[in-house]
Every structure is written in C-alpha cells, then in structure tokens.
Amino acid sequence: MPLRSPTEVKADLLRRAAEIGFDDCRIARADDPRHAGEFREWLEAGSAADMDWIARGAEKRCDPQKVLTGARSVVTLAMNYWQGDWDRGLQTAAPTRGRIARYAWGDDYHDVLEKKLRTLDGFLTAAGGRQKFYVDTGPVLERDFAAEAGIGWHGKSTMLLNRQFGTWFFLAEIFTTLELPSDPPQVARCGSCTRCIDACPTGAITAPHQLDARRCISYLTIELKGSIPPEFRPLMGARIFGCDDCLDACPWNRFAQISRESAFAARPAVAQMRLRDFLELDDEQFRVLFRGSPIKRIKRRGFLRNVCVALGNVGTRDDLPELRKAALDHEPLVAEHAAWAIKQIEQPSRG
C-alpha cells in the first residue's frame, strides 16, 4: 500500500472527524503557544486562585515537546453544544429554579469527546503517528492552538469565538508526531465591543483578555472547594453551577445553531427541580441524579453549598423549612451556607 501524503492524511482526518460528530477540525503547528508569557504573568499575579494544578503543569503548557516528544502538529477540534434558549421561559416562570451553565446541562463532555478522540487517535496511529489527546484534562493552552489553527479568535472574555457557533463549543486537541499542513488563523472580530466585560456580575474580567479567577462565578461554584467569600454570594443570583453571563452577552451568538449531539441536551429530571428540592438529596441520591454529568465532580457538599447561596438570593420564606434542615447537615460546608441563606431570607427587606 503506497504511503499517503500529509495532505491526503489531513483530508481523511477532517472527513472522519466530521463523520463522528466534530463540527470543526483544523491543524496548528506544535510550536510554543503565542501567549505563554502572558500565561506565566497571570499565574504570578495569583489570578489562578487556588487551582494549583494549573501551575504544576505550567512548563508543559508552554512547551508542546514536554507534552509529546517529537510533536509536530496539533489537531484542534470543536464541538457545538448549544441547546437553544428553552430555559429562559422556565426560569421566568419559576425564579426559584437554579441556573446551570449550558455546557453542564447534559452528559459530561469529557466522556463524550474522549470516545471520539480515541477513534481519531487510532486513525493517526495507522498513518504512522504517535499521539496524546486531551479534552480540557491536560497541560495545554488549548485556546492558543485553536486560535492559531483558525477554530476561532480570542474574545475579550478570554473565551474563543467562532463565526458559526459563537461561544458555545467545546475544544479538544490531539498532539501528533505527524507533520500535517497547518491552517491559517482567523481575524479577530470583537472590535470595540465590551459587552462580555460589562455583563460579568462580579467584575472578574478585569480588562480585555484578562480574567481573575478569584472573582469568577464559574470558579466559585466549581473549582473552589471551601466557603464562598461572603462578598460574592449576593452577586451569584440563582447560579448553582457555572455562569454563562459573559457568553450570553456576546453578539456573535446570534448565529448559534442547535447542536447535533443529543448527549448535551438538558436532563428533564434536573431541569424541573426547584432549588429547595436539591437540599433533600443524600450522597447516594446525588450520585444517581448526576451520574455521567459534569456536576458530579463537585460532589454533594459543593453542589448544596451553591444551592444554599442561590436560595439566599432568590428564595422565599417557603424555602426556610428545607434550609433549616440543611443548617444541621453533617457537612459543615452545607450547614454554613444554609445558615447564611436563612439570614438573607429573614431580613425585613425580603418581606
């Protein structure tokens, strides 16, 4: 069998990626990331908060050869997860329902994308390559490679923007020793727009392209393991897992299309629950309800902590019986935030 050219391998790779559900597939050179210096400055400023795992992998993030020796190309892939705006009516009709970031409505994207990456890894291995692949799980400055390959451009929110999907897509990468033809980057199209910066409830986007994780609601509700600082609790509203405000504000999302991946659709059992219903979950019930969901990673204690804060912001006196039970929870983290929520609801100004 004659050897195929890099161009032929790439064409076949793109076809296979589309067949198994990826919405875009492009190639970047395995060079040092363009923003490695800014990344190091961000770490030195303490903007990563207590996410020590980011600093531990800093050198690998800045040097692809430390990820995969002999890497020549980075296959960058995107998958749209937009499910439409059906939740807006639900939230309006029942304001005491929690808000979950769209990426976590359905199945865990790590699991969904990794299965597809294994298929492409097998194809590249058959073509003579050695690979390592990641779905937000390894030491990779993934948005730099995706931007270099033309998947999108760096938005002022620090998120990657795409003309077709707006902000609603997952990224994945395959480092390979194969030298494949690279793709050109896109032109940045944010112009003078600052809607994402203006929309952030906590001022976490401190300047264009700069994010202080210590203020970010996604960090506070997902990555932070301990107590949520009291000054940020009232700003969280009904958000119980992540925050989409800077994404929702982006004008490019007017072009967003419904994802063809059904695994990312919202789970009815979760979507229909009121905030106070979550407080009744024990550990086993939590695991069952969120099996295969990204939410499972913060465990019951972290999730109910968030639920208590949300009730403190949008709850009513009807929620007090459940909160008083939660204030006696065996998890001190849950009990602490439940007590805070009770005080918020019992304020005279809340009626």
159 is written with which tokens? 């998120």
DSSP element (H, E) containing 241: strand 239-241
Vertex 297 angle, CA 293 and 302, to 5°: 115
pLDDT at 96: 74
pLDDT at 87: 65
Average pLDDT for residues 299-312, to the nearest whole number? 98
Q: Give the CA distances from residue 147 to residues 7, 24, 133, 227, 285, in Å, rounded to whole numbers and listed in that order.
A: 21, 12, 17, 35, 41
pLDDT digits (tens, 9 = 90+) for 7-50: 999 999 999 999 999 999 999 999 999 999 999 999 999 999 99
The mean of the pLDDT values for the chain is 94
Confidence of residue 88 (pLDDT cuts 50, 70, 90): low
What Cα–Cα distance (Å) separates residue 253 from each residue in 9, 143, 165, 275, 320?
A: 33, 18, 7, 28, 38
* 67-76 residue pLDDT tens: 999 999 999 9
CB 314 within 8 Å of CB 275: yes
> What pLDDT sits at residue 94?
58
Q: Residue ranges of the domains in the chain?
A: 6-176, 215-247+265-344
User: What gap in Å lies between CA 146 and CA 245, rounded to an integer?
Assistant: 23
- Has residue 2 got a pLDDT over 80? no
Going by pLDDT thresholds of 50, 70 and 90, the confidence category of residue 4 is confident
Model pLDDT, residue 253: 94
pLDDT at 170 over 60: yes
CB 131 within 8 A of CB 175: yes
Predicted model pTM: 0.94
Q: Kindly name the residue from 12, 85, 111, 136 that is annotated as catalytic.
A: 136
Rg over alpha carbons for the chain, rounded to the nearest Å, is 22
Mean pLDDT of 307-330: 97
Distance CA 172, CA 109 (A): 10
Q: What is the mean pLDDT of residues 303-330?
A: 97
Q: Look up 245 and say whether it is catalytic.
A: no
pLDDT, tens digit, 9 for 90 and up, residues 214-229: 999 999 999 999 999 9
